[in-house]
Amino acid sequence: MERTQRGVTIAVLILVIFHQVGLVGLHLSSTKDVFIQLVPMNLLLSALLLSIFHQKWSISFGIVIFVIFWAGYLIELVGVKTGLIFGVYQYGTALGPKIAGVPPMIGLNWLLLTYSTGVIARKAFRPLWARILFACVLMVLLDLLIEPMAIRFDFWHWDSGEIPLQNFVAWFLTAALMQTGFQTLDQDIKNPLAYPFYLVQIGFFAVFFLVEHAF
């Protein structure tokens, strides 16, 4: 138990330090371009750390996370091509190489958010509907903070120049579909890093938002 706690502490420190350095690097004009290109590494590092502390791997769990990953990518693909889901937008270069105009890394982003909020919701509530609803609220809350940074640092761009309300409604509905699949898994899913990971994300984007509006 002590060894596990020590490992979680080290993992949290890695996430905090990595995000703090990233926050500074993204705001310095001399390093901004370099740190934008490191965004995929941040997602991969987060995925690696969460996978290390995930408990009780199973075939059914593997299938669900595989589906969530590719569902996230395909929903974004349809969204970009039609403009009917999230609104009219295009991806920039920050999330890495693109396939048909959409970076596969966005699928990993959907997976990380679904997983971390899903684990938190499982611990917080017992009823299925409450877990799904709570996790969806957590995901949309984070998107509210992500959007300003996404536009500034070339994650994606809205053709209208403004974030449409449609985007947040679609985020909630997409999150609900993914959380339904995740929450209906008939196994006890635990990860001591899920809650700290989500808090680090909230803290990172919240600090970014405050800094942007303070200067």
pLDDT digits (tens, 9 = 90+) for 156-204: 999 988 899 999 999 999 999 999 999 999 888 999 999 999 999 999 9
Q: What percent of the chain has pLDDT over 90?
A: 75
Q: 101: which residues sit within 8 A by CB, 6+ positions away?
A: 77, 80, 81, 90, 91
Q: Are 122 and 131 in contact (CB under 8 A)?
A: yes
d(CA 171, CA 152): 20
At 2, the pLDDT band (50, 70, 90 cuts) reads very low
Model-level pTM?
Answer: 0.93
Q: 57: which residues sit within 8 A by CB, 6+ positions away?
A: none
pLDDT digits (tens, 9 = 90+) for 155-169: 999 998 889 999 999
d(CA 71, CA 29): 36
